[in-house]
Structure 1
Amino acid sequence: MAGGPLSLQTCRDMALGYNKTLASKRVQREMAAQMRKSARTKYLPSLDVMGGAIFSSREISILNNTQKSTLKNIGTSLGGLLGISDPKLQGTLNHLGQDVVDGFRTNNRAMYMASAMVTQPIYMGGAITAANNIADINEKMAAVNEELARQNTLQNIDQTYWTVVSLRHKLNLANSFLQLVQKLDDDVQKMITAGVATKADGLKVSVKVNEAEMAVTQVEDGLSLAKMLLCQTCGMPVESDITLADEAASAIAIEEDSVNGADTVAYWYRPELELLSNTVDISRQATKLARASYLPQVLLSGGYLMTNPNVYDGFTRKFAGVWNVGVVVRIPVWHWMDGTYKVRAAKAATTIAELELAETQEKVDLQVSQCSFKLKEARKKYAMATKNVDKAEENLRCANVGFKEGVLQTTDVMEAQTAWMQAQSQKIDSEVEIKIAQVNLKKAIGQM
């Protein structure tokens, strides 16, 4: 803004940098990129580490109570059975029996476990590949959504920009018209003073002056509102006093059309069509994903399990573990045709997406044709408006000459002025109509 009038490109750049919807689409694209990276990891082995502690009110016993009692009293029992009355021998045997009972204790009221497990998918029925393809397509769709938001932003800013420019030219025209009727009013007042015009003539011109002043006020208000909208779209305070580069031009510059083969261009570049095509691709991958649910799945696993008590050394209170490796195979046998139904539903979704794509292609073709027609129509209006301006200027010149020579009345001059005003206004309308039609055609073919 400090550099002077704002060009269309400057307004575009400011709008692209400020637009919240576009910023949101950028974040969504980054999110899709992260999801695509996440999907890639499913091909790689995964490592899980787990640990835990369990405290129980009772410990697991390998011996039952009768066996424990028998072993604890084995010396006494054998002494009675064999008629041995040596207390020392019996005590020794009882002690040995107690050692056996103690040796069978699991001591697992407090158990500690730790494990590390590595899992490598070998074959998942194509589910991982389909999920990665879906992630790739989602990333493409996020980029296309960002492009769509960019084009919508540019279309909006271009339309607002040219609306402001047209209103500025309308304001210049309204001021010029006001000057014309004010001069006529001054001339008529002099003629009334000289006695060659009536007060009725003066009143007619005064009414015209009031109408011209009101028209200036209305255009000024419209211009202020349009500039507020432009400032808001560009991210500036709405009260900003801005000037556009094309406001100072005597007329709105009309460029030649540079669009050829619009239908073909729209087919390749229109974001909406690309999004629907991506939707079709995703639905096809979803079919593969559904089919994978009833295909065999093979995983390779390996790990290390460590426990305390040590179950490999008589439940001693220390950590010890064991390595393990294995293959897990899952083969769905019968699920009441659940997978078949899911595949059929996914194929139906693909058909729907293909029909929507075909319908949208037809609508895009129609929209391109309509935009092309409107551009051609706007150029015809511009050509006729240019001719009308020339005629209106000549008519006004003749009316002013006839009024000065006294052969035409005040009403004739006012009619000529009004016709000139309408012709100039129609020319401005046709100029901005061409600009907006060009913008809409570029948007329709996806080349904003």
Structure 2
Amino acid sequence: MVFLPFITRGQVYTLEECLAAALEKNNSIKNSLLEVEMARQTRKEAFTFYFPQVSASGMVFQGSEKLLQADLDLFGLAEIPLSFIKKGAFATATAVQPVFAGLQIINGNKLAKLGEEVRVLQHRLTENEVKQKTTEYYWLIATLNNHHSTLDVVDKLLAEIYRQVELAVKTGLTTRNDLLRVELRQQEIASQRLKVENGLRVTKMVLAQYIGADFTSFDIATSEFTQPESPLNYYITPQDAVQQRIEYLLAQKNVDAQGYQVRMERSKHLPKVGVGVGHIYYNIMKKDVNTELAFASVSVPISSWWGGSHVIKKARIKKEQAENDRKNAEELLAVEIEQLWSELTESYAQIELARKSIASSTENLRLNKQHFNAGASSLSDLLTAETLYTESCNNYTSACADYQTKLSNYLTHTRP
């Protein structure tokens, strides 16, 4: 059955174009990319800790009194007051290169890199969610379009029935009650049309906003629902699919991150060694003094081991929890993939059932029209046959759209 849009088309999008636009313009995608960029900057920031740490400071002072004051004792005979340094200037500049920081810098960089990898995976997860939502909106519009086309066919059928019944009323072959029954059915169809049109308008607005398109001229390109490929062409074992799931990869990254956290906690309690150079300038007694110096520093956090050993044990426990979460995620993801496969095959079977239902209801409608025209069946039987035909057409459309949506969901959850 071919879709016949009932409104003037503007910019027409295929499903592939909708997906491409969503990945480019959707707000969730934009924010996710910003999260990736922030993680990238964090990694670059961590790398700078390999470089020397440079600092400089300076001071100029002026006292109201001289800073150093004393009395000089001349062998107990007299005391001579002395005072000096009332003003001066002082400046230093140092550069310290960490030689060994308990592996904190190395592990910190690895952790920052891992954080960027996690953000990239989360971005892929966001992309999958956006694509799936876009696909659902697209096929919902396609379904409503097809329902609208079915209503057009039913309207023509009811108009024909109405003319026949009206003629029968005029000739006295039936009562006006039959005509009223046809009118009631036409009113039901009009009510359904109103719901379909409202649903189409709102859903198109939602999809247009979701993909960043102008909803005032937005429409989708739809065609006849044909028999889809068998889901067997897309099957993958749950065990193989799990290894490619982003959620599983994220769980594994969490294990790696907790491993780095253990190393970070351990490195906090190791000695730290650094070497540096510096320059000192001062002018305190009206004489400029410039001097350079080289130095080395060693810091050993002895007392921190009292509580540090417990902190390290806590970090190891968290890593063990992450391992348990990864195993649990692996098992649950396998169950989810198996469930998605069952839903997909069931949806495919529903298409065939709906196709048979259309064939049966079409033949039933044809026979009832013949019998009604020949006076061998009642108007009630004909209207019932029309209702069954309408329902079977709509059920077939819904089954096809449901299959396409579930196929997209299955492929999203089983392919990298």
The two structures have a TM-score, normalised by structure 1, of 0.85
Cα distance, 1:446 vs. partner? Answer: 4.8
Q: Which amino acid aligns with 1:250?
A: E
d(CA) in 1 for partners of 2:226, 2:139: 9
Of 371, 378, 387 in structure 2, the residue corresponding to residue 418 of structure 1 is 387
Q: RMSD of the TM alignment (CA)?
A: 2.3
Of 18, 23, 27 in structure 2, the residue corresponding to residue 20 of structure 1 is 27
Q: Which amino acid aligns with 2:16?
A: Q
Matches within 5 A, 1:14-413: 14-61=21-68, 64-67=71-74, 107-238=84-215, 240-246=216-222, 249-251=223-225, 254-257=228-231, 258-309=233-284, 316-335=285-304, 337-413=306-382
3-state SS of the aligned residue for 1:42? Answer: helix
Which string of whole-angstrom CA distances, capped at 9 and with x for unpartnered residues, describes residues 342-375 of structure 1?
1112112212222222222222212211111111
Question: Are the structure 2 counterparts of residues 288 and 216 from structure 1 closer, same or farther at C-alpha, using a change threshold of 3 Å?
Answer: same
Q: Is the 8 A contact 2:361 2:389 kept in 1?
A: yes
d(CA) in 1 for partners of 2:86, 2:314: 53
Cα distance, 1:380 vs. partner? Answer: 0.6
d(CA) in 2 for partners of 1:390, 1:253: 15
Cα distance, 1:224 vs. partner? Answer: 1.1
Q: Which amino acid aligns with 2:384?
A: E
Cα distance, 1:154 vs. partner? Answer: 0.8
Cα distance, 1:262 vs. partner? Answer: 4.5
d(CA) in 2 for partners of 1:15, 1:427: 28
d(CA) in 2 for partners of 1:251, 1:421: 16
Which string of whole-angstrom CA distances, capped at 9 and with x for unpartnered residues, describes residues 270-317 of structure 1?
2222222212211111111111111111111221111112xxxxxx31
After TM superposition, the structure 1 stretch with the greater mean CA deviation from structure 2, 437-446 or 1-10, is 1-10
Q: Which amino acid aligns with 2:263?
A: K
Q: Is the 8 A contact 1:12 1:157 kept in 2?
A: yes
Cα distance, 1:57 vs. partner? Answer: 3.9
Question: Are the structure 2 counterparts of residues 283 and 339 from structure 1 closer, same or farther at C-alpha, using a change threshold of 3 Å?
Answer: same
Question: Are the structure 2 counterparts of residues 371 and 67 from structure 1 closer, same or farther at C-alpha, using a change threshold of 3 Å?
Answer: farther
3-state SS of the aligned residue for 2:219? Answer: coil
Cα distance, 1:227 vs. partner? Answer: 0.8
Q: Is the 8 A contact 1:296 1:330 kept in 2?
A: yes
Question: Are the structure 2 counterparts of residues 371 and 325 from structure 1 closer, same or farther at C-alpha, using a change threshold of 3 Å?
Answer: same
Q: Is the 8 A contact 2:9 2:217 kept in 1?
A: no
Q: Is the 8 A contact 1:113 1:306 kept in 2?
A: yes
3-state SS of the aligned residue for 1:269? Answer: coil
d(CA) in 1 for partners of 2:76, 2:34: 73
3-state SS of the aligned residue for 1:195? Answer: coil
d(CA) in 1 for partners of 2:227, 2:218: 20
Cα distance, 1:390 vs. partner? Answer: 0.8
Question: Are the structure 2 counterparts of residues 265 and 19 from structure 1 closer, same or farther at C-alpha, using a change threshold of 3 Å?
Answer: farther
Which string of whole-angstrom CA distances, capped at 9 and with x for unpartnered residues, describes residues 94-115 of structure 1?
xxxxxxx88xx6x422231111
How many residues are treated as equivalent by the alignment? 408
Cα distance, 1:442 vs. partner? Answer: 2.0
Structure of larger gyration radius: 1
Cα distance, 1:445 vs. partner? Answer: 2.2
d(CA) in 2 for partners of 1:377, 1:340: 56
Q: Is the 8 A contact 2:271 2:300 kept in 1?
A: yes
Q: Identity of counterpart residues, as a percentage?
A: 21
Specify the alignment match of 1:94 in structure 2. none
After TM superposition, the structure 1 stretch with the greater mean CA deviation from structure 2, 130-139 or 109-118, is 109-118
Which string of whole-angstrom CA distances, capped at 9 and with x for unpartnered residues, describes residues 201-249 of structure 1?
22222211111111111111111111111111121344x1322111xx2
d(CA) in 2 for partners of 1:404, 1:18: 57
d(CA) in 2 for partners of 1:388, 1:253: 15
d(CA) in 2 for partners of 1:428, 1:67: 115
Q: Which has the higher strand share?
A: 2
Cα distance, 1:63 vs. partner? Answer: 5.0
d(CA) in 1 for partners of 2:76, 2:37: 72
Q: Which amino acid aligns with 2:228?
A: I
Question: Are the structure 2 counterparts of residues 13 and 405 from structure 1 closer, same or farther at C-alpha, using a change threshold of 3 Å?
Answer: same
Q: Structure 2: 5+ residue runs without aligned partners? A: 1-7
Cα distance, 1:264 vs. partner? Answer: 4.0
d(CA) in 1 for partners of 2:242, 2:303: 45
Cα distance, 1:135 vs. partner? Answer: 0.6
3-state SS of the aligned residue for 1:398? Answer: helix
Q: Is the 8 A contact 1:159 1:439 kept in 2?
A: no
Cα distance, 1:196 vs. partner? Answer: 1.3
3-state SS of the aligned residue for 1:117? Answer: strand
After TM superposition, the structure 1 stretch with the greater mean CA deviation from structure 2, 415-424 or 251-260, is 251-260
d(CA) in 2 for partners of 1:355, 1:262: 23
Q: Which amino acid aligns with 2:219?
A: T
d(CA) in 1 for partners of 2:344, 2:182: 39
